Amino acid sequence: MRRSFLFLASLMAPASGMGQTRHPLEPLTAAEITRSSRLIKGDTRWTATTQFAEIRLVEPPKPEILAWRPGRVIGRRALSILTDPAAGRTSEVTVDLQTGSIGEWRDVPGGQTWITRWTTDNDAALAVLRNEPRWTAALARRGLRPDQVSVLAAPAEGYLPFERDGTRRVAALTMLAGPERDGSLDGLTVLVNLTRRTVESFEDRGGPNVRVPNVEIDSLRRLATTRRGPKPLRLLQPEGPSFSVTGHAVSWQNWEFRFGVESRSGLILHQVGYRDGATLRPILFRAAVSEMAVPYGDPGWRIWMPLDLGWVGLGGYSQTSFRPGADVPENARFFESVMHDGAGNPVVVPRAVALYERDPGVLWRHGTEARRGRELVLAFFATVDNYDYAFNWVFQQDGTLASEVMLTGMMNTRPVEHARAADHGEGPAYGTLVAPNVFAPNHQHFFNFRLDLDVDGAAPNRVVEMNVAGELSPPGRPDALGHVETVLDHEKAAARQVNMASHRMWRVVNPERRNRLGQTTSYALIPGDNSTPMMPRGAFIRDRVGFVNQHLWVTPFAERELYAAGDYAWLGRHGDGLPTWTAADRALVDTDVVLWYTLGVTHVPRPEDWPVMPVVKTGFKLIPIGFFAENPALGLPR
Burial class (CB in 10 A: 0-12, 13-18, 19+), 403: buried
Output the pLDDT for position 599. Answer: 98
* pLDDT tops 90 at residue 282: yes
266 and 357 in a single domain? The answer is: yes
485 and 336 in a single domain? The answer is: yes
- Residue 93 · residue 40 · CB < 8 Å: yes
More confident residue, 183 or 321: 321
**Which residue type is seen at 332?**
A
User: Model-level pTM?
Assistant: 0.93
* pLDDT tops 50 at residue 181: no
Distance CA 286, CA 309 (A): 17
Nearest to 68 by CA among 28, 14, 30: 14
Give the C-alpha distances (Å, rounded to integers) separating 222 from 23, 172, 387, 432: 48, 32, 18, 20
* pLDDT tops 70 at residue 426: no
pLDDT category at 255 given cuts 50, 70, 90 is very high
Return the CATH number at 86. 3.10.450.40
Q: Looking at the domain assignment, is residue 159 inside a domain?
A: yes
Output the pLDDT for position 493. Answer: 98
360 and 508 in a single domain? The answer is: yes
Q: What is the DSSP string of 276-324?
A: ETTEEEEEEEEEEEEEEE--B--TTS------IIIII-HHHHH-PPP-B
Output the pLDDT for position 163. Answer: 82
Q: Looking at the domain assignment, is residue 366 inside a domain?
A: yes
Output the pLDDT for position 157. Answer: 75
Q: State the sign of the Cα–Cα–Cα–Cα dihedral 564, 570, 574, 576.
A: negative
- Over residues 46-60, the mean pLDDT reads 93
Helix (H, G, I), strand (E, B) or coil at 63: helix
Cis previous bond, 611, omega within 30: yes
189 and 131 in a single domain? The answer is: yes
When divided into structural domains, the chain yields a total of: 3
- Over residues 621-633, the mean pLDDT reads 97
CA dihedral 84, 85, 88, 94 (to 10 degrees): 20
Q: Looking at the domain assignment, is residue 29 inside a domain?
A: yes
Q: Which residue, of 188, 221, 254, is where some domain finishes?
A: 221
74 and 130 in a single domain? The answer is: no
179 and 267 in a single domain? The answer is: no
580 and 549 in a single domain? The answer is: yes
Output the pLDDT for position 3. Answer: 47
- Over residues 549-564, the mean pLDDT reads 97
Q: Which residue, of 221, 256, 282, is where some domain finishes?
A: 221
pLDDT category at 561 given cuts 50, 70, 90 is very high
79 and 139 in a single domain? The answer is: no
Element containing residue 82 per DSSP (H, E): strand 77-84
* pLDDT tops 50 at residue 19: no
Output the pLDDT for position 208. Answer: 60
Element containing residue 4 per DSSP (H, E): helix 2-12
pLDDT tens digits, one per residue of 127-164: 999 999 999 999 998 888 898 888 888 887 777 888 88
Domain extent at residue 49: 2-108
Q: Looking at the domain assignment, is residue 433 inside a domain?
A: no
485 and 518 in a single domain? The answer is: yes
User: Which range has the worst mean pLDDT, 118-127, 205-214, 459-468, 627-636?
Assistant: 205-214
pLDDT tens digits, one per residue of 67-86: 998 888 899 999 999 988 77
Q: Looking at the domain assignment, is residue 101 inside a domain?
A: yes
103 and 125 in a single domain? The answer is: no
Q: Looking at the domain assignment, is residue 93 inside a domain?
A: yes
pLDDT tens digits, one per residue of 368-396: 999 999 999 999 999 988 899 999 999 99
pLDDT category at 526 given cuts 50, 70, 90 is very high
Q: Looking at the domain assignment, is residue 429 inside a domain?
A: no
Q: Which residue, of 71, 88, 108, is where some domain finishes?
A: 108
Cis previous bond, 460, omega within 30: yes
Q: Looking at the domain assignment, is residue 423 inside a domain?
A: no
Output the pLDDT for position 573. Answer: 74
Nearest to 595 by CA among 453, 496, 489, 404: 453
* pLDDT tops 90 at residue 514: yes
Give the C-alpha distances (Å, rounded to integers) separating 160 from 152, 154, 539: 15, 11, 14
More confident residue, 111 or 604: 604
131 and 75 in a single domain? The answer is: no
- Over residues 327-341, the mean pLDDT reads 95
104 and 121 in a single domain? The answer is: no
* pLDDT tops 70 at residue 209: no
pLDDT category at 13 given cuts 50, 70, 90 is low
